[in-house]
């Protein structure tokens, strides 16, 4: 039977918990300490590595895409590389791709110059739009290199540019 | 000794009539050659028009007007292959217009190559490959593995409503497709693409800055995969057995009757995504843009 207390100093000094809580608390403290010691550098390292890994992945993807895109590129001798009006500075593209593209651009410029003015403007404007799009995607990738959507759009846009340039270069050729 | 004397008036008539007669013979063409029912016909023209018509005879008939800058029109038949070619003088800087109407056996396969010439095709049931630089193309296409492409010319294609594989592409021209079915590959850079299909087995599409508008009915395992950069994508795709979507835009919006659960891709960055799954397996619609908006609806 419980005895009624009449004074505060009659209360027990310690009240034991139902179970021992210390092991869990200790483990949590140790985990925090571990996170504060070794993991900080890991976390920083992870943060520092993430864009680099993303960029590497993007470049890898571009290389794969470019290899596919090269199937659209002209065969045979490669004319000397020149700067053209529609040529940007596609830094992410491999050198082989840039060379093929520049060679194709020379042929496309020749083709454009033989077109009537209205048509030439229309086609040149489309090609410029395509190049601008690639530049936009590239700029966005620079800010968010690990973005899978941007990587995909970049690769397919580079391939599309090669397709369009090839279509213009080959236009009007009498195959029959 | 008798002397043959030409009166001055007669001489004048001869002088005038001779060039007219000579040029008159080159003004028009009207030739018919035998052909196979399912043969191959290759046609090339630089400027003017090419109208191809399918008919029920095993003959190819070429009629039309030939411009003065055209040297000749060659028609060569070898086995099941007929080549019709408008030949310009070597080094000619003129367009050399030729307006040709060509009737071919209905089941023929045709290949038409033109520069600024407009091309039309009606009633041909075989495979068609038509390409122009700036000429417009208007074709009724029913043959499997057909391809229609231009650089700056607009393209209008009408399918027969039966499933075929078709490729349509342009750089700056618009693409207008109606009543197609089966597999479609449609690509444009800055032109708009308006595509209306019956049963869709597979559509792969891409636009850089043009609007890509696709309407049709997905088969139970139909696939649509569309990509744009700054162009908008509009998809109205009925799917009787339900569909799944994987739609993402980097900086554009996603809207439409299926866009009820659009979510942000990242808490801190741009990007929206719509993932809908009304069926476990079946029709799938994938669409992505950089900055263009995406509208998706199944009604």
Report d(CA B231, CA B248) in Å as an integer.
14
Q: Which of B78, B208, B292 is the best residue to mutate to test the A interface, defined by the most A CB atoms within 10 Å of its own CB?
A: B208
Q: How far apart are CA B212 and CA B203, in angstroms?
A: 12
Q: Please tell me the predicted confidence (pLDDT) of residue B27.
A: 86
Residue A156 has pLDDT above 50, yes or no: yes
Enumerate residues 70 to 99 of chain B having a beta carbon within 8 A of any beta carbon in chain A: 83, 85
pLDDT tens by residue, B224-273: 999 999 999 999 999 988 889 999 999 999 999 988 888 888 777 788 88
* Domain boundaries defined on chain A: 39-73, 95-170
- B38 lies within 8 A of chain A by CB: no
Least confident of A82-86, A102-106, A150-154: A82-86
Judge whether B111 and B78 are in contact, CB under 8 Å: no
Nearest CA in chain B to A124: B172
Q: What residues pair up with B275 in beta bridges, in sequence order?
A: B246
Average pLDDT estimate for B15-23: 41
- Put simply, whether B194 touches A (Cβ < 8 Å) is no
Whether A97 has a pLDDT exceeding 90, the answer reads no
Average pLDDT over residues B155-171: 96
Cβ-based contacts of A129 with chain B (< 8 Å): 189-190, 208-209
CB of A125 less than 8 A from some CB of B:
yes
DSSP code of A92?
A: T
Q: Which range is least confidently modeled, A17-26, A117-126, B63-72?
A: A17-26
pLDDT in tens, B175-205: 999 999 999 999 999 999 999 999 999 999 9
Q: Which residue of A has its CA nearest to B288?
A: A149
Distances (CA, A) of A31 to A37, A43, A47, B107: 10, 15, 21, 78
What average pLDDT does the structure give for chain B?
A: 89
Please judge whether B172 and A136 are an interchain contact, meaning their C-beta atoms are less than 8 angstroms apart. no
Residue for token digits 């080159």? B26
The CA-based angle B176-B178-B183, given to 5 degrees, is 100
Say which residues have a Cβ less than 8 Å from residue B271's Cβ, sequence separation at least 6: A147, A149, B248, B249, B250, B251, B264, B265
The string of pLDDT tens digits covering residues B200-230 is 999 999 999 999 999 999 999 999 999 999 9
Alpha carbon distance A69, A159 (integer Å): 5
Nearest CA in chain B to A172: B115
Residue B241: per-residue pLDDT: 85
For the segment B49-84, what is each residue's pLDDT rounded down to a tens digit? Answer: 999 999 999 999 999 999 988 999 999 999 899 999
CA angle A5, A10, A13 (to 5 degrees): 130
**CB-facing half-sphere around the CA of B34: CA atoms within 13 A:** 2
């Amino acid at each position: 039977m419980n005895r009624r207390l009449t004074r505060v100093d009659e209360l027990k000094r310690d009240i034991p918990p139902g179970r021992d809580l210390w092991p869990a608390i200790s483990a949590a403290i140790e985990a925090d300490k571990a996170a504060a010691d070794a993991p900080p550098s890991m976390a920083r390292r992870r943060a520092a590595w993430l864009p680099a890994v993303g960029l590497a992945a993007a470049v890898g993807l571009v290389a794969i895409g470019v290899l596919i895109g090269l199937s659209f590129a002209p065969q045979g001798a490669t004319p000397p590389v020149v700067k053209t009006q529609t040529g940007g500075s596609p830094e992410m593209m491999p050198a082989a791709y840039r060379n093929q593209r520049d060679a194709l651009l020379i042929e496309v410029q020749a083709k454009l110059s033989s077109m009537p003015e209205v048509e030439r403007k229309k086609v040149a404007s489309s090609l410029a739009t395509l190049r601008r799009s690639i530049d936009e995607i590239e700029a966005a990738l620079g800010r968010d290199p690990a973005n899978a959507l941007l990587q995909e759009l970049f690769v397919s846009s580079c391939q599309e540019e090669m397709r369009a340039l090839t279509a213009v270069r080959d236009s009007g050729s009498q195959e029959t | 000794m008798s002397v043959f004397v030409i009166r001055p008036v007669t001489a004048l008539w001869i002088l005038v009539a001779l060039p007219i007669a000579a040029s008159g013979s080159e003004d028009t063409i009207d030739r018919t050659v035998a052909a196979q029912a399912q043969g191959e016909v290759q046609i090339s023209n630089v400027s003017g028009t090419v109208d191809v018509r399918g008919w029920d005879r095993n003959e190819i008939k070429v009629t039309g007007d030939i411009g003065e800058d055209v040297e000749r029109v060659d028609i060569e038949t070898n086995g099941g292959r007929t080549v019709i070619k408008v030949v310009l003088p070597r080094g000619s800087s003129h367009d050399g217009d030729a307006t040709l109407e060509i009737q071919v056996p209905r089941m023929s396969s045709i290949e038409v190559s033109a520069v600024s010439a407009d091309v039309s095709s009606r009633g041909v049931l075989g495979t068609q490959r038509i390409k122009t630089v700036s000429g417009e193309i208007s074709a009724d296409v029913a043959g499997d593995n057909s391809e229609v492409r231009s650089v700056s010319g607009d393209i209008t294609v009408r399918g027969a409503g039966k499933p075929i594989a078709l490729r349509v592409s342009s750089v700056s021209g618009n693409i207008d497709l109606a009543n197609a079915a089966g597999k479609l590959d449609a690509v444009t850079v800055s032109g708009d693409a308006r595509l209306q299909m019956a049963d869709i087995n597979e559509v792969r599409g891409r636009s850089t800055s043009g609007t890509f508008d696709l309407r049709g009915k997905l088969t139970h395992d139909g696939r649509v995969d569309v990509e744009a950069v700054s162009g908008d994508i509009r998809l109205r795709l009925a799917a009787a057995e339900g569909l799944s979507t994987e739609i993402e835009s980097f900086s554009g919006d996603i809207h439409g009757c299926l866009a009820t659960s659009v979510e942000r891709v990242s808490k801190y960055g741009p990007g929206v995504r719509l993932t809908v799954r009304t069926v476990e397996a079946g029709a799938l619609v994938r669409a992505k843009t950089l900055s263009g908006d995406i509208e998706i609806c199944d009604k």
